Structure 1
Amino acid sequence: MLVRRSRVAVAFVLACAFYLFHRALSSGSGPMGSGFAIPRDTRIQYPFREKGINARDAKKAEAVKEVMKRTWKLYKEKAWGFDEIKPVSGKYRNSRNGWGATIIDSMTTTAIMGLTDAFADQYDWVVNRVDFNKAEGLVDPFETTIRYLGALVSTVDLLEAGIISPPSPSFRRNILKQAKTLADNLGPGFDTPTGMIWPRINFTEARGMDMYGRRHQHAIVHLARAGSHWLEYSTLSHLTGDKTYLDNSTKAWDCLVSNKRGVPWPGILESPRSIWTGLPVGTTRTLGAPDDSHYEYLIKAHLLAPKSSTNNYARRWYQAMTSAQKHLSSAAKSQTNPHTFLLSYSKDRYENNMGHLTCFIGGNILLGAKYLSQSSLFSFGEALIEGCHHSYASMPSKIGPESWSWMPRESHLRPPHFPGPVTLSQREMYEKTGIWATATNYNLRPEVVESYFYGWRITGEEKYRRWAWEAFEAIVKATETEWGYSEVDDVTRVRKEGNLRDTSESFWSAETLKYLYLIFEDPELCSLDEWVFNTEAHPLKRRL
């Protein structure tokens, strides 16, 4: 009798242990992330109205809108139908397959700003002019998805939400027809053993290729290219009822998100990966380019569709951010400027270099940490935004450089002696600010003001709007030309003459100006409680 009771007790204990283990996996505690839990209903955006705060600054919002109106007017006058205007010479170029990137990528900006005439031109271009069955050169599925496809599905969401009046009764059918055509032509890119997408697609042959137009079993892809399709494809499936797009993007991401192999830093994967096996063929671990938006999309996928099977995405994001806080966070050694930055890691060595592109991560951390009620991560995100702001405040032009370095305070990092500033100007900058620019150009990028947007919308702290206005004024002053706004060659110089690159990519109007405008407009416009922004700032309606 005693033996039987003992066996029953053992069986009961084992059953309880199995139940608790299974529950831990489903809730996110235990091995998948200590302290992690998926909330049922969490408000993300700061309650401006409930606090009696008039959060709209009409004068500044209108100033940003005027820059957008000028950008559009000059593009339409000098470069209509081409991907970009060359803002110094007034010429044009195609860099995104000749589909009119500036037209389509900025559709959601004109919609949000209420620029109905510009939006009508864009709508006409999409439904009557552009042909997504033909492409100039090989197609980059990453850029095409975030710029073109993201804009198209976001436009449908914005129109259906009443943010802009539909230009025709058949707008939904017309736009989705073009979106489906584009997505169908991108479909052959997923034809790999793992489902991970090829880096390029030949539309003429309907075949995936590597970056050089070759097809072989040694093709590789970085994390951002492999993992930045889910938001757009999931939305397309939701709008059309065709699950093919969701299935493709889910499978493409699965070997990353559901990676069963142990990794040294939970959630942070080595890159690049083989599209044939899904295994790493490189040793880089970074939250910056070219892996950045894979991590960005993990939390955003869950926020977009929290009632679907996206808990694991949020769990992986939580793991990655806590690993980054532990392994990649670095404080500058400077006593007067001990700001927080993010290292990269490759070949058993840390690199004390951070890029403007990485500055999205502060805002992304605030977004996820607020939703998951993680105060330590939230403070980490705030510190990273402060560090990126310092990169702007440190430059004579008051615009942050493409990349910069600092001397890490942490003594345990390898190598024990990091390379310091080399040139006289770098040494002078380091002594004054605690950082030095390693690439001095500014490419009209949005990432710093993007994080200001999340900082303002989530915390309500006025400093983020102040920083955003300072950035806006500095950017316009340095980049304005006769035919638009141009990339800057050297942000350590104040003089404009001879310091412009005659290039203006579509994200200037799609992202940078949109985020700036939304910082000063009524926060209820595209509230974070109702919308998720893809990595090109196209808002997608949350499916709560």
Structure 2
Amino acid sequence: MIVRARPSRAIAFVFISLCLYLVYEIGTFCFSASSSLPNLTIPPGRRIQYPFREKGVGGRDEEKADAVRKVMERTWKLYKQKAFGFDEIKPASGGYRNSRNGWGATIVDSMTTTAVMGLSDAFADQYDWVVNHINFDEAKDLVDPFETTIRYLAALVSTVDLLEAGVITPPRPSFRQDILRQARSLADNLGPAFDTPTGMVWPRVNFGTKSGVNDDGRKNKYTRIHLARAGSHWLEYATLSQLTGDNIYLRNATKAWSRLVDSTEREEWPVYHRSPRLIWTGESVGSTRTLGAPDDSYYEYLIKAHLLFPSRASTKRYARRWLQAMTSAQKHLLSVSDTHPIHSFLLSYSKGMYNNKMGHLTCFIGGNLLLGAAYLNRADLLSFGKALVEGCRYSYFSTPSGIGPEEWSWTPRESKRNRAGQPEFFTGPVTAAQEKAWQQTGIWPTQANYNLRPEVVESYFYGWRITGQEKYRAWAWDAFTAIVNATTAEWGYSEVASVMATPASEEERRRNFRDTSESFWSAETLKYLYLTFSEPELCSLDNWVFNTEAHPLRRRI
């Protein structure tokens, strides 16, 4: 079932001036909501990417690009040998698991990676699997619309864009129609996710009953979702509508986030939404404000929607909302560490309190800020983004393995100290190991695992492509070598339990493996690393927008 949603209505934004105290050790904030969105003047054809050719710098680094490509070749070879057709390989044991409905997530999600790397044999295998072996009318378990859209659907529409741009040589003449047939099948089966009064998506879809449901498979009008789930469909569905000529996909995705984008509720921080929200009414039932999970990609997509379709009036409104949100984040969430030199991180806020924890997932925002700042010509946000990229780099630099942890804390410069020298009013080190890390580096891991995540190298990619500064490629290479050293397993590349571990033997090293390798390892982490060292015109930011799973979509300029 496809939900035939009404087109989104243009709503005038009215924000009533208000002054709210947020008395906390960081300070007292007093502000008023803006009565209008900021004006944007964007000249046609504005460049985003650094002009490498004109400057005569920054060509392909053959040795490093080839090294990343070889890791992808090994990843695919071992997956194909031991787990082909399953969603993921277990890289330490050689087993497999289905975590994304059994459609072969690693195969589909890495299609665009093999395409941009020119791995034609692997891509041919993936194409054959998609068109001849996947039945999107059937699913193992309930289907997560968010993960399915960003991984599966995005990969399918992206391959069509790559085909039409000449990046892919089609395995057979019917390639375009074959892929779009499967993309439409998947999107149509995801249609019931949008079947709510607000259009905000259900957390799951039951493909058997063709209905949107809770995580537990039941319907409940008090179901709540976070911002990323409401707002991370627009790029993929807008592209599908563009490729097929059927606007139902765009209408559904537009309605899904319209209660956020077109919100008229009084906002303490302009355009910075409280989370989670009730899908039945759109009202907030929580007080969390964060640029990290589980709200992250809603903000990411606001600017990217405008980049994808810059000539549409509606997307300029999205860009304005992004600009307001990032300005709010800079004012209310930016924190600097009480270290020398200082480092910049992002707080989160909930129930009247700030939290000095930042996750690896949040590190995407540095690159997103650089992207939006370059396009909107905002030097203040460019500096903000650079500072956050450097802060995330420090999370890598500060560990024995050279890899950043899943989550870490720091002592904000804004905090006071108790007699023991630890921060008051913020989370301090708890364990002896955390205390040691804090004393040595000024930050400490609160979750020490590494899940093969891409967000830090993603921001390095944007740093390199937008500024042309060689340091971002140097940081990317450091990250790549550290990740490969720590994660290389017999059957692929594994998540590790602790980035603080210093294994003295191969056996200790193996014990640090978590025997898990999600599809974003090949879809995102390796793709961003490869594109950092490849010819800069490959997927140039002037012509392409990456979805939150690193699938490139052609800008409709």
Give the TM-score category using the shorter length. Answer: over 0.9
C-alpha separation in 1, matches of 2:180 and 2:172: 14
Amino acid at match of 1:152: L
How far the C-alpha of 1:40 sits from its partner, in A, is: 3.2
Partner of 2:23: none
51, 54, 65: which is aligned to 1:61?
65
C-alpha separation in 1, matches of 2:361 and 2:167: 29
C-alpha separation in 1, matches of 2:168 and 2:113: 11
Query: TM-score of the superposition, structure 2-length normalised?
Result: 0.91
How far the C-alpha of 1:315 sits from its partner, in A, is: 0.5
Q: CA offsets per residue over residues 89-108 of structure 1, 9 Å max, x none?
A: 00000000000000000000
Q: CA offsets per residue over residues 145-172 of structure 1, 9 Å max, x none?
A: 0000000000000011111201110111
How far the C-alpha of 1:396 sits from its partner, in A, is: 0.3
Query: How does 1:92-491 map onto structure 2 within 5 Å?
Result: 92-308=96-312, 309-334=314-339, 336-411=340-415, 417-491=425-499
C-alpha separation in 1, matches of 2:59 and 2:227: 37
496, 499, 508: which is aligned to 2:521?
508
C-alpha separation in 2, matches of 1:343 and 1:78: 42
CA contact (8 A) 1:442 1:489 kept: yes
How far the C-alpha of 1:38 sits from its partner, in A, is: 4.0
77, 85, 89: which is aligned to 2:89?
85
Amino acid at match of 2:279: I
Judging changes above 3 Å, is the alpha-carbon distance between structure 1 residues 54 and 365 closer, same or farther for their aligned structure 2 residues?
closer
CA contact (8 A) 1:32 1:315 kept: no
How far the C-alpha of 1:262 sits from its partner, in A, is: 1.6
CA contact (8 A) 1:488 1:501 kept: yes
SS in structure 2 at match of 1:122: helix
SS in structure 2 at match of 1:310: helix
C-alpha separation in 2, matches of 1:300 and 1:410: 33
How far the C-alpha of 1:30 sits from its partner, in A, is: 7.2
Q: CA offsets per residue over residues 121-149 of structure 1, 9 Å max, x none?
A: 00000110011000000000000000000
C-alpha separation in 2, matches of 1:35 and 1:116: 46
Amino acid at match of 2:450: Y
Q: Which ranges in structure 2 are unaligned for 5 or more consecutive residues?
A: 1-11, 14-32, 417-422, 504-508
CA contact (8 A) 2:415 2:426 kept: no
CA contact (8 A) 2:228 2:297 kept: yes
How far the C-alpha of 1:417 sits from its partner, in A, is: 2.0
How far the C-alpha of 1:419 sits from its partner, in A, is: 2.1
Amino acid at match of 1:261: E
Partner of 1:16: none
How far the C-alpha of 1:338 sits from its partner, in A, is: 1.2
SS in structure 1 at match of 2:139: coil
How far the C-alpha of 1:344 sits from its partner, in A, is: 0.3
C-alpha separation in 2, matches of 1:35 and 1:187: 35
SS in structure 2 at match of 1:49: helix
Judging changes above 3 Å, is the alpha-carbon distance between structure 1 residues 165 and 185 closer, same or farther for their aligned structure 2 residues?
same
Amino acid at match of 2:498: D
C-alpha separation in 1, matches of 2:424 and 2:266: 27
Q: CA offsets per residue over residues 452-485 of structure 1, 9 Å max, x none?
A: 0000000000000000000000000000011000
Judging changes above 3 Å, is the alpha-carbon distance between structure 1 residues 168 and 212 closer, same or farther for their aligned structure 2 residues?
same
Provide the aligned C-alpha RMSD in A: 1.6
CA contact (8 A) 2:355 2:427 kept: no
Partner of 1:11: none
Amino acid at match of 1:331: V
Amino acid at match of 1:483: W
C-alpha separation in 2, matches of 1:459 and 1:445: 23
Partner of 1:75: 79
C-alpha separation in 2, matches of 1:543 and 1:36: 19
CA contact (8 A) 2:112 2:155 kept: yes
CA contact (8 A) 2:231 2:256 kept: yes
C-alpha separation in 1, matches of 2:58 and 2:454: 25
CA contact (8 A) 2:58 2:536 kept: no
Partner of 2:26: none
Amino acid at match of 1:74: L
Amino acid at match of 1:318: L
How far the C-alpha of 1:216 sits from its partner, in A, is: 1.1
SS in structure 1 at match of 2:35: helix
How far the C-alpha of 1:267 sits from its partner, in A, is: 1.5
Q: CA offsets per residue over residues 484-516 of structure 1, 9 Å max, x none?
A: 000000000121231000000000000000000
C-alpha separation in 2, matches of 1:34 and 1:178: 40
C-alpha separation in 2, matches of 1:453 and 1:138: 34
**Greater Cα offset, 390-399 or 53-62:** 53-62
How far the C-alpha of 1:523 sits from its partner, in A, is: 0.4
CA contact (8 A) 2:310 2:556 kept: yes
Count matched residues.
516
| Greater gyration radius | 1
Partner of 1:8: none
CA contact (8 A) 2:34 2:270 kept: no
How far the C-alpha of 1:428 sits from its partner, in A, is: 1.2
C-alpha separation in 2, matches of 1:171 and 1:350: 51
C-alpha separation in 2, matches of 1:30 and 1:37: 19
C-alpha separation in 2, matches of 1:35 and 1:204: 47
Q: CA offsets per residue over residues 361-387 of structure 1, 9 Å max, x none?
A: 000000001100110111000000000
CA contact (8 A) 1:38 1:311 kept: no
How far the C-alpha of 1:212 sits from its partner, in A, is: 1.2
CA contact (8 A) 1:39 1:372 kept: no
C-alpha separation in 2, matches of 1:280 and 1:39: 37
Query: TM-score of the superposition, structure 1-length normalised?
Result: 0.93
User: Among the aligned pairs, what percent are the same residue?
Assistant: 69
CA contact (8 A) 1:58 1:521 kept: yes
How far the C-alpha of 1:32 sits from its partner, in A, is: 3.4
SS in structure 2 at match of 1:357: helix
Amino acid at match of 1:326: K
Amino acid at match of 1:230: W
C-alpha separation in 1, matches of 2:415 and 2:208: 54
Amino acid at match of 1:463: K
CA contact (8 A) 2:144 2:203 kept: yes
Partner of 2:7: none
C-alpha separation in 1, matches of 2:499 and 2:329: 29
Runs (4+) of structure 1 exceeding 6 A deviation are none
C-alpha separation in 2, matches of 1:115 and 1:80: 17
Amino acid at match of 2:278: S
